[in-house]
């Protein structure tokens, strides 16, 4: 149903994917309904309408030519349509199975959408969330004008998605309600205390410290004699870059003008490391003996280390902890929301999906029945 979603964003974290289809009883569901949520029916006509939308919007290639919704039990129109567009002949049994599979897929998608839509509408009502028709229409017009600047483009979208303006207004309403529900859930979860901020800062103090960094021009020679010779060349005015390219055996700095960038204490060989961090800037030093060879170097630049105090880090820590609390609250809400509304969702036997209270997960190794 990808085309049906082009105009409207996803309905948010409070809607759920549908899995499985099985057969169970349907209690006191009205005769003109496929399911009911908290006593409010999802009518057969509504279900059939969205099956048609699914059929039209999902059709591609040859099937996109005058798509037909599969209708059980005979699937006559669907079979005839497949015959018309088939690239090669197929048996009646094969065509009927194709139509049955289409119907099963669409049925699960549509029931999932209609049930979760009822859940969102019901939850918004139970939380006392107000949403006016004016708000919905305004948001709808904003989205429509962004996606379809020309009226003809919008009319084409309606035709190729199978949806009406009323359908799209419903989707906008659901999206706005989902957003408002989420905002209400997380609003109360913004009470991070100073003690929590301080605890986090102390436990993660290393995150707020930046060590001193030094840019170092260097030449690494194989022998002490080569290092001394390189040093004399630099002292006589030859650039570090040319001496490094000719003499250095360090492939990284050799091809970078002799530069070791942003060296942090502890990164280099101990003797060289100690020499770097005891040297003054712009003073040619060495040779320094290491297991790798002999270094001649000059500290070019020093970037002092820094430490962010608790007061300086407080706002960012508070924002981080608040986000974590809100995410936890939202995850908890979604779980409770699904349990609550699934218990209120009763489906007729032929239409039971995972979000119906009668649903029973198939046993491992067995196929789900329709």
| Residue 323 counted as domain residue | no
Whether 107 is covered by a domain: the verdict is yes
Is 130 in the same domain as 261? no
Say whether both 182 and 216 belong to one domain.
Answer: no
Rounded Cα gap, residues 159 and 279, in angstroms:
76
Contacts by residues 277-285 (CB-CB < 8 Å, ≥ 24 positions apart):
277/212, 277/214, 284/231, 284/234, 284/235
The residue among 354, 356, 350 whose CA lies nearest residue 36 is: 356
Are 275 and 183 in the same domain? no
Range of the domain at 38: 2-188+335-353
Q: Are 334 and 190 a contacting pair, CB within 8 Å?
A: no
Give yes or no: residues 93 and 31 share one domain. Answer: yes
- Does some domain include residue 238? yes
Give the end of a domain, one of 264, 289, 304: 304
249 vs 230: CA distance, rounded Å: 12
Residue 369 lies in a domain: no
Shared-domain flag, residues 159 and 64: yes
Question: Residue 202 domain-assigned?
Answer: no
Residue 59 has, within 13 A of its CA and on its CB side, a CA count of: 24
In this structure, the answer to whether residues 237 and 88 fall within a common structural domain is no
220 and 297 in a single domain? The answer is yes
pLDDT of residue 6: 35
User: Are 248 and 299 part of one and the same domain?
Assistant: yes
Query: DSSP letters along 284-342, please?
Result: -EEEEEETTEEEEEEEEEEE--EE--HHHHHHHHHHHHHHHHHHHHHHHHHHHHHHHHH
Phi-psi sector, 365: left (phi>0), alpha (psi -120 to 50), beta: left
- Report d(CA 153, CA 50) in Å as an integer: 22
Domain termination site, one of 283, 304, 325? 304
161 and 235 belong to one structural domain: no
Does 45 fall in a domain?
yes
Tens digit of each residue's pLDDT, the chain (370 residues): 333 333 333 333 333 322 222 223 345 788 899 999 999 999 999 999 999 999 998 888 767 778 889 999 999 999 999 988 887 888 999 999 999 999 999 999 999 999 999 999 999 999 999 999 999 999 999 999 999 999 999 999 998 888 999 999 999 999 999 999 999 888 877 688 999 999 999 999 888 988 999 999 999 999 999 999 999 999 999 999 999 999 999 988 888 899 999 999 998 999 999 999 999 999 999 899 999 999 999 999 999 999 999 999 999 999 999 999 899 989 999 999 999 999 999 999 989 999 999 998 888 655 544 4
Asked whether residue 229 falls in the same domain as residue 148, the answer is: no
Residues 159 and 70 in one domain: yes
Write the CATH number for 234: 3.10.50.40
Closest C-alpha to 110, from 178, 176, 53: 53
Q: Are residues 180 and 240 in the same domain?
A: no
Using CA atoms, how far apart are residues 278 and 275, in angstroms rounded to an integer? 5
Within a domain: 325 = no
Work out how many domains the chain is built from and give that number: 2
282 in a structural domain? yes
């Amino acid at each position: 149903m990808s085309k049906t979603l082009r105009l409207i964003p996803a309905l948010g974290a409070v809607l759920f994917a549908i899995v499985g289809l099985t057969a169970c009883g349907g209690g006191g569901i009205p005769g003109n309904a496929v399911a009911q949520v908290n006593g409010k029916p999802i009518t057969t006509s509504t279900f059939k309408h969205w099956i048609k939308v699914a059929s039209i919007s999902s059709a591609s290639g040859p099937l996109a030519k005058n798509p037909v919704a599969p209708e059980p039990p005979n699937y006559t129109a669907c079979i005839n349509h497949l015959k018309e567009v088939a690239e090669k002949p197929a048996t009646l049994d094969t065509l009927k199975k194709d139509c049955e599979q289409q119907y099963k897929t669409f049925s699960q998608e549509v029931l999932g959408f209609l049930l979760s839509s009822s859940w969102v509408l019901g939850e918004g009502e139970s939380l006392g969330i107000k949403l006016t028709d004016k708000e919905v229409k305004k948001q709808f017009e904003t989205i429509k004008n962004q996606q379809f600047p020309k009226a003809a483009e919008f009319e084409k979208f309606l035709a190729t998605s199978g949806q009406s303006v009323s359908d799209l207004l419903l989707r906008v309403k659901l999206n706005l309600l989902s957003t408002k529900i989420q905002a209400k859930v997380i609003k109360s979860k913004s009470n991070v205390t100073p003690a929590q901020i301080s605890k986090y800062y102390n436990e993660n103090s290393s995150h707020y410290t930046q060590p001193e960094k030094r840019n170092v021009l260097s030449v690494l020679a194989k022998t002490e004699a080569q290092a001394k010779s390189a040093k004399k060349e630099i002292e006589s005015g030859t650039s570090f870059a040319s001496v490094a390219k000719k003499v250095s055996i360090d492939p990284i700095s050799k091809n970078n003008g002799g530069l070791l960038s942003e060296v942090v204490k502890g990164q280099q060989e101990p003797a060289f490391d100690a020499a770097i961090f005891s040297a003054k800037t712009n003073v040619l030093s060495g040779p320094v003996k290491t297991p790798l060879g002999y270094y001649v170097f000059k500290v070019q630049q020093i970037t002092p280390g820094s430490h962010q105090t608790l007061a300086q880090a407080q706002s960012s820590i508070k924002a981080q902890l608040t986000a974590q609390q809100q995410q936890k609250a939202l995850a908890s809400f979604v779980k409770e929301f699904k349990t609550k509304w699934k218990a209120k969702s009763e489906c007729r036997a032929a239409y039971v999906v995972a979000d119906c209270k009668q649903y029973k997960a198939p046993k491992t190794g067995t196929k789900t029945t329709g």
